[in-house]
Amino acid sequence: KMWLRVAWVAVLCLASSADANVPAAKCVPKNVVTCSDCLASGGYCAWCRTLNFTRDGELDSVRCASVEALKARGCEANDIMNPMGSFSVLQNEPLTSTGMQSETVVQLSPQKVHVKLRPGIPTKFDIKFKRAEGYPIDLYYLMDLSYSMNDDLENVKKLGSQLLQSLGKITKGEKPGFGAFVDKTVLPYVSTSPEHLEHPCTEKNVRCSRPFAYKHVLTLTDKSAIFEKKVGDQIIGNLDTPEGGFDAMLQAAVCGDKIGWRNNTRLLVFTSDAGFHFAGDGKLAGIVTPNDGNCHLDSDGEYKDNIHYDYPSVGQLAQKLSENNIQPIFAVTKSVVNIYRELSQLIPKSAVGELSGDSSNVIQLITSAYNNLSSKIILEPSRVPEGVSVSFVSHCNNKEKETQKGVCSEVKIGTEILFTVAVLAKECPKDTEVEFEIRSLGFQEKLSVKLSFECQCNCNDSTKNAPYCSNGNGNLECGVCSCHQDRIGRLCDCRAKGGDTIALEAQCRPDNSSQLCSGQGDCVCGKCVCNVRADPQEKVDGKYCHCNNFNCERYDNKLCGGEMSLVSSITLTHPDPSPASITLEWWQSGETDTKG
């Protein structure tokens, strides 16, 4: 039987860009015109530079596809541009087992690498780490010197020789230092009345020093007698319970030259019997300027600018400790130990120990905390460029674990462990060469990673005024013509005065709001050349490539259920300034009707 169907062109000629049943390819080109555009579309995209690879009506974007798809279309392997990432070692000093000086100890290998990244595909390489015996230690003892810590100070005064002796069992290059803190020197943290400034302690028989926020007392030294003498400073008192420890810790971290930090393992032992102030608490004293994270110690080693800057935030403090590779050990009393355990969760490579009422167990606490910290190896990326991600697979105790940081616990001295690093670029960046670091927290070793990006095609076929481009009307690059002025077209075979392509393109669309060739063809010299479908039974035609024979309803994945076929069609257009078209179609059922 013969059927007549009348339909508006706007409905009939809608074309689907792809069959919904076709699975998505790994390579999805995005606005691809050149080979570089293709590489930027994804890690699985490759480009074919073969001349005449495209058929009539096809855009150059068909050159961009997966390697398998290009080969299937007949592109030779030598003509497929598919640069991949690579890895090379620039510096690789061998790992050492022992060392008296940190400059001679090598625990991390390699030390410098060059990584070439293809956006969308990770480049992987391995890092080795081996704990060396006798790695030097810098230990800075930062003590809360509020009046409530009076009995603790008496024990700390005797620490010098015991501390050096205990550290000497671990390392041969130890140096302790000392600093003290109370709180900001304004109300309500300390009393500012003249009487209380002269005698801040409430007990008449106890003499106290004037209050201060933080004072650096002793630069790192290996002289125990000097340590014990300097720690013998008097105690002071303050009004409220929380202390200004964050101010002191940040200054001790960023004032490296004054503290005397060396390129060794850096430990900061923080002792207190109270909590802490943090960002925002400065408003109690009218201090609203955020902490700038810089060193403000004066020539006497005192932080007198404390009244101008708010306390640091937890995040800011953690960042400064990490930047300066300092591991804090919180030695605090039982009443606040849970608070500092929560804080420790937010500060990488930190430890918490419960301090006895008079600090008599501080040596044991420091030794235990150091052993725990040094046996936990953490590799952390630093200054990673935007658009680049770094992940690790840690090979520890015959197990593998993928994380954003490389972490292995309970690593013994002399044990070599392995980390696999994966570096991934999401897209081609503006800067073609950048660097970042991978640091071993708590140690001074670091890996410098130089990055470059495979975002350009080296097709080796660049030809100026190429004969292929309509006898020299354009330059050839990666199989594609780049046309000279006043020339357009796939082969630069069309002339456009003044390089004006608008007039030519206007001939390839029914109105200004429409796509060129209805999005289903290529505008060639002002005429639409319709796309060729992969299925030879499917056709796209019409002046603007606006009609097709495959957009009708399907059943069982067959056009019109496989029971009807389009015999012919006629399009009628009304001569109105805004034309409306209808199409008459004749369809025939699967059963032949001899009567027509």
3-state secondary structure 209-227: CCCCCEEEEECCCCCHHHH
The CATH number of residue 159's host domain is 3.40.50.410
The stretches of 41-99 forming alpha helices (DSSP H) are 67-72
Partnered with residue 439 across adjacent β-strands are 380, 446
Q: Are residues 417 and 327 in the same domain?
A: no
51 within some domain: no
For 36, list phi and psi in degrees, rounded to 5.
Answer: -65, -40
Sign of CA dihedral 191, 193, 306, 214: negative
CA nearest neighbour of 274 among 355, 179, 368, 367: 355
Sign of CA dihedral 74, 79, 81, 82: positive
* CB of 348 closer than 8 Å to CB of 286: no
Q: Are residues 369 and 388 in the same domain?
A: no
Provide the greatest CA pair distance for the chain. Answer: 126
The residue behind tokens 């002025």 is 485
What local confidence, expressed as pLDDT, does residue 371 receive? Answer: 86
Query: What b/e readout covers 197-217, taking b as 16+ CB neighbours within 10 angstroms?
Result: eeebbeeeeeebbebbbbbbb
Partnered with residue 353 across adjacent β-strands are 331
The CATH number of residue 112's host domain is 2.60.40.1510
What local confidence, expressed as pLDDT, does residue 462 receive? Answer: 84
Q: Are residues 381 and 348 in the same domain?
A: no
544 within some domain: no
Q: Are residues 189 and 116 in the same domain?
A: no
Range of the domain at 576: 552-596
* CB of 121 closer than 8 Å to CB of 425: no
Q: Are residues 337 and 199 in the same domain?
A: yes
d(CA 176, CA 168): 11
162 within some domain: yes
pLDDT tens per residue, the chain (596 residues)? 444 444 333 333 333 333 333 333 478 888 888 999 999 888 889 999 999 898 766 778 899 999 999 999 999 999 999 999 999 999 999 998 875 565 678 999 999 999 999 988 999 999 999 988 888 889 999 988 877 777 777 777 666 677 777 877 777 778 889 999 989 989 888 878 887 777 777 666 666 778 889 999 999 988 878 887 887 766 666 666 668 999 999 999 999 999 999 888 899 999 998 899 999 999 999 999 999 999 999 999 999 999 999 999 999 999 999 999 999 999 998 999 999 999 999 998 999 999 886 667 888 888 888 888 889 999 999 999 999 999 999 998 888 888 888 999 999 988 999 999 999 998 888 887 899 999 998 888 899 999 999 988 888 888 999 999 989 999 999 999 888 888 877 888 888 776 567 777 888 888 887 888 888 887 778 888 888 887 888 888 899 998 988 877 766 666 666 655 554 455 544 444 444 455 555 555 444 443 33
3-state secondary structure 97-161: CECCCHHHCCCEECCEEEEEEECCECEEEEEEEECCEECCEEEEEEEECCHHHHHHHHHHCCHHH
505 within some domain: no
493 within some domain: no
Q: Are residues 254 and 285 in the same domain?
A: yes
Q: Are residues 112 and 148 in the same domain?
A: no
Query: What letter represents residue 39's amino acid?
Result: L
What local confidence, expressed as pLDDT, does residue 355 receive? Answer: 83
69 within some domain: no
Sign of CA dihedral 275, 279, 281, 282: positive
Radius of gyration of the chain (CA): 37
What local confidence, expressed as pLDDT, does residue 494 receive? Answer: 84
What local confidence, expressed as pLDDT, does residue 24 receive? Answer: 39
204 within some domain: yes
* CB of 457 closer than 8 Å to CB of 83: yes
Domain tally for the chain? 3
Q: Are residues 436 and 307 in the same domain?
A: no
Q: Are residues 168 and 116 in the same domain?
A: no
User: Which among 453, 476, 496 is the end of a domain?
Assistant: 453
User: Which among 434, 453, 472 is the end of a domain?
Assistant: 453
Query: What b/e readout covers 474-491, taking b as 16+ CB neighbours within 10 angstroms?
Result: bbbbbbbbbbbeebbbbb
Q: Is 253 exposed, middle or buried (0-12, 13-18, 19+ CB in 10 A)?
A: buried
CA nearest neighbour of 56 among 522, 542, 541: 522
d(CA 233, CA 182): 13
CA dihedral 510→516→519→525, nearest 10 degrees, is: 120
Q: Are residues 106 and 141 in the same domain?
A: no
Sign of CA dihedral 321, 327, 332, 334: positive
Residues composing the chain: 596
User: Which among 390, 419, 453 is the end of a domain?
Assistant: 453
Q: Are residues 313 and 225 in the same domain?
A: yes
d(CA 278, CA 555): 68
351 within some domain: yes
Q: Are residues 280 and 338 in the same domain?
A: yes
